[in-house]
Structure 1
Amino acid sequence: MPVPEMFRIKICGLNDFENAIAVAHSGADAIGLNFFPKSKRRIDLTTAERIANFVRGEVQIVGLFVNASLEEITETHQKLGLDWIQLHGDETAELALSIYKETNVPIMAASRGRLHRWEKLPDGFQPHAQLMDAAVDGAYGGTGHLSDWELAATWRSDEQLQRFVLAGGLTPENVTEAISVVRPSAVDVAGGVEIAGQPGLKDMVKVEQFVSAAHRAFDAIT
């Protein structure tokens, strides 16, 4: 299966139908749907399916999983038609390869505080994109803590990294600088564009500010 063209701006952790549709029309390239049961941004499968059916073809749909089984991920993909599968937990490279073989959906491997998710890869397998989030003990992401931009910027000298997604603490106010320093393939935001005290519900003014700033910053480095 050919890997889809890499998105540049992903808004993650959506869990409300109307809000997700608005985000999909904001100029972002991708939306993230979080299926981690312990996440404050978790979305139920029924709402996720409604969103996916409505926005398919307009934005790329990324399913975020944390330590889910092959069966759970496969069944979710069958219902939603995911464009990317984001592994954000402690999954092994062997499981990632099995997921890819079963679904033919590109794998985005998320790491916390480091560039590479796995040191050893089976059968020549390479994740199709790497996402770097902030490292916070006991958390699998979505903390609002800032990633190490200096470390993240070194991805460009790593021949194994072809697509690099920067996450962790991004906001409309700092995304321009982040893109300028790191020059990532894409940026990923969740809490930085949310309505205070309402995880998953995005503030559309912040979303539009973030998207506009990110587009300008990407245009400036290309």
Structure 2
Amino acid sequence: MQKIKLCGMMKPCDIEYANRVKPDLVGFIFANTRRKISPAQAKQFREALDAEIPAVGVFVNEDISVITSLVQNGCIDMIQLHGEEDADYIRRLREICDVPVIKAVKVQMVEQIRQAAALPVDYLLLDTYRKGVLGGTGEAFDWELLREAKIVAGDTAEGELFGKPYFLAGGLHAGNLREAAALGSYGLDVSSGIETDGSKDFTKMVEVMELVRKF
């Protein structure tokens, strides 16, 4: 069964919702987007979140000391990198933080995925590219690129690309989840697709979770 990550928790009620629908992962965003939360909020959210649901911290070219502090304080259980973090940065981070690392790829070509898979990370996350936009776009990328990457990579393991398990992100919602799930990723990452007017919507969360659990 594919994993489901609900990303961009912004309010205490979002944590309450997550505890009720039980996703496999939730995301706390520390990058400069509209969903950004503070370390103090993250601590509050982590304390309120079901202990069995890992919290993923999302960063863009962040100072390693900031990430380290959040890991060591128990605010996050995994790290997701969305910037230009290179192999050296990731190695230095991993020397201090013994938690799984996800590297996001803003997909424009298959070679980007191959290069990201060569980095010392545990997972990839394939997202939509839009020039000048750091956070989520709310739009899906061309999934033909993913199909092409699967052919080039030649992976036989379920949910992997170039030897790395990967999450599919970018504009996922109840209307396209079945098609997205059929692409065979390790996990699905949903954010704007569980929002109404920029806020998390419990009804949409329930709908998404029920759909994914049926696949």
* TM-score interval for Structure 1 and Structure 2 normalised by the shorter chain: 0.7 to 0.9
- Contact in 1 for aligned 2:90/2:120 (Cα 8 Å): no
* Corresponding residue of 1:169: 171
Q: Structure 2 CA distance, aligned partners of 1:7 and 1:89?
A: 25
SS in 1 for 2:196: coil
Unpaired segments of 5 or more residues in structure 1? 1-5, 218-222
* Larger strand share, 1 or 2: 2
Unpaired segments of 5 or more residues in structure 2? 156-161
How do 1:51-66 and structure 2 match up within 5 A? 51-66=45-60
Task: Kindly indicate whether residue 78 of structure 2 is the aligned counterpart of residue 90 of structure 1.
Answer: no
Q: What is the root-mean-square deviation of aligned Cα atoms in Å?
A: 2.2
Cα deviation, residue 84, structure 1: 1.2
% identity of equivalent residues: 28
Cα deviation, residue 161, structure 1: 2.9
SS in 1 for 2:21: coil
Cα deviation, residue 55, structure 1: 1.9
* Corresponding residue of 1:19: 14
Cα deviation, residue 107, structure 1: 0.8
Q: Structure 2 CA distance, aligned partners of 1:190 and 1:69?
A: 25
- Contact in 2 for aligned 1:60/1:83 (Cα 8 Å): yes
TM-superposition CA deviations, 1:155-174 (whole Å, max 9, x none): 54534333110000100111
- Contact in 1 for aligned 2:105/2:116 (Cα 8 Å): no
Which residue type is aligned with residue 180 of structure 2?
A
SS in 2 for 1:207: helix
Q: Structure 1 CA distance, aligned partners of 2:49 and 2:100?
A: 19
Q: Which of 135, 139, 147 pairs up with 2:133? A: 139
Cα deviation, residue 151, structure 1: 1.7
Distance 1:67-1:141 versus aligned 2 partners, 3 A rule:
same
* Corresponding residue of 2:212: 214
* Corresponding residue of 1:10: 5
SS in 2 for 1:100: helix
Which residue type is aligned with residue 37 of structure 2?
I
Which residue type is aligned with residue 121 of structure 2?
P
Cα deviation, residue 51, structure 1: 1.2
Q: Tell me the TM-score normalised to structure 2 length.
A: 0.87
- Contact in 1 for aligned 2:81/2:102 (Cα 8 Å): yes
Q: Structure 2 CA distance, aligned partners of 1:205 and 1:194?
A: 9
Distance 1:137-1:131 versus aligned 2 partners, 3 A rule:
same
- Contact in 1 for aligned 2:33/2:135 (Cα 8 Å): no
* Corresponding residue of 1:119: 115
- Contact in 2 for aligned 1:49/1:80 (Cα 8 Å): yes
Cα deviation, residue 216, structure 1: 1.4
TM-superposition CA deviations, 1:70-107 (whole Å, max 9, x none): 11110111223422100011211211111111111111
How many residues align? The count is 205
Task: Kindly indicate whether residue 42 of structure 2 is the aligned counterpart of residue 48 of structure 1.
Answer: yes
Q: Structure 1 CA distance, aligned partners of 2:2 and 2:99?
A: 15
Q: Tell me the TM-score normalised to structure 1 length.
A: 0.84
